[in-house]
Amino acid sequence: MNTKLLFILGLMILSLKLSAQKVYSVKYDYQADVKVFITEHDYQADLLVYKVDYDYQAKENKGLWFFTKYDYQAKKKVFFTKYDYQADLKICFVDYNYQAKWRNSQKKHLME
């Protein structure tokens, strides 16, 4: 019985980790888990983000984001701020998936 419980618990934790980069963009800052600012240059960002086309491509916490259609499908709700000082996390969108990565690993917990 304990083995089954541990197995089920392990699967639940694994599934949460795999969905870590499914995000939903909210309209108001108070609805967000994380406030995000989009930088113009990659060296200004904490995280380099690549938008993937399918949810199964959004793996772990590596900057591969899938934007969900509904908030309940997302692991994190994000609000895009107008100014950088309002944000918890600064991101820069990149053109290729291999460019996605954390530049400031101290902020990695925000998307876990």
Give the pLDDT confidence of 59-79 residue by residue, as tens digits: 889 999 999 999 999 999 999
Which residues lie closer than 8 Å to 75 by C-beta, 6 or more apart?
16, 19, 20, 21, 22, 23
Higher pLDDT, 106 or 7: 106
- Mean confidence (pLDDT) of the chain: 88
- CA 101 to chain centroid, in Å, comes to 11
- 79 DSSP β-pair partners: 35
pLDDT of residue 59: 82
| % residues pLDDT > 90 (the chain) | 80
Indicate the pLDDT class of residue 4, thresholds 50, 70 and 90: low
Where does residue 60 fall: left (phi above 0), alpha (psi -120 to 50 degrees), or beta otherwise?
Answer: left
pLDDT at 47: 98
Report pTM. Answer: 0.81
Split at pLDDT 50, 70, 90, the class of 18 is very low
Task: Say how far apart CA 68 and CA 21 lie, in whole Å.
Answer: 10
Per DSSP bridges, beta strands 101-102 and 89-93 are: unpaired
Nearest in space to 22 (alpha carbons), one of 70, 90, 91 = 70
C-alpha span between 21 and 78 (Å, rounded):
11
pLDDT(15) > 60: no
Give the count of beta carbons closer than 10 Å to the beta carbon of residue 76.
Answer: 19
